[in-house]
Amino acid sequence: MTPVETLLGNAGFRGKPLGSFPPQPGPFHLSSYARALGTRMQAETQPAHESLKPQRVHFQSQNFHNILHWQPGRACPGNSTIYFVQYKTYGQRQWKNKEDCWGIREFFCDLTNETSDIWEPYYGRVRTTLAGVHSGWTMTQRFSPWWETKIDPPFMNITQVNGSLLVNLHAPNLPYRDQKRKNVSMEYYGLVYRVFVINNSLEKEQKVYEGAHRVVEIEALTPHTGYCIVAEMYQPTLDRRSQRSQERCVESP
């Protein structure tokens, strides 16, 4: 009996003789086995159904109306998939379901009410289901309404009075209401209006007003001359201005 056989016998093992063990795999068999094992391990560690995950999940904010948008995953055909939306405030561990966007087919979700504290940063995330198969979640980057919202230009109405122009300005409304249930204007955050006059005959633009008043009188107009008025809003705290309004053109009497 060989030393190995003696050791096995003393340990109580009753196995086949050494010579009857199956042959060890050669280099070709070993490499094939390793490749197969590696492929299986990679499939198990890869996120499930990666091609179903929604793409380009991001917030778009206009006057603090905060809408979550996304695109369907690479393997999602048309509108045959449904989506689920969750959100949370930065620093919270628990995600919350958005009930109105739980099992929808649209590619957007209004999270204005859920992100109403404009000083707080937020996250949103979306997943999809197709034929009973769930994708993983796709999360937004950190979103801060106060810093990222875009401001629309002011509404403008022009009236001619005794050779002058009265420009009435009105800021866009916010999606919030005060205690009397009235809409809150963007003026709540301290806006400055800027009004510009363009003399069409001279092709010259001039800023004629900058301030907080909503009614601006433009005087000393040349008779029988065409003028165009344009306005914008400026938010000093953010050092941010709105886009310009559309030109409103009149001819002085």
Q: Return d(Cα 168, Cα 225) in angstroms, integer.
A: 21
Q: Please, which residues have CB within 8 angstroms of residue 162's CB and are 6 or more apart in sequence?
A: none
Tell me the pLDDT of the chain (253 aa) as tens digits: 444 344 334 444 343 433 443 444 444 343 444 344 343 333 333 344 778 899 999 999 999 999 999 999 887 766 678 999 999 999 999 999 999 999 999 999 999 999 999 899 999 999 998 888 889 999 999 999 989 999 999 999 999 988 899 999 999 888 877 677 777 777 877 889 999 999 888 878 999 999 999 999 999 888 888 999 999 999 888 788 999 999 999 988 7
pLDDT in tens, 179-212: 777 777 778 778 899 999 998 888 789 999 999 9
Pair 70, 140: CB distance under 8 Å: no
Q: Quote the radius of gyration of the chain (alpha carbons, Å).
A: 34
Q: Say whether pTM exceeds 0.85.
A: no
172: its two tokens? 């866009």
d(CA 49, CA 42): 13
Backbone angles phi, psi at 105, to 5 degrees: -105, -10
Whole-angstrom distance, CA of residue 206 vs CA of residue 227: 11
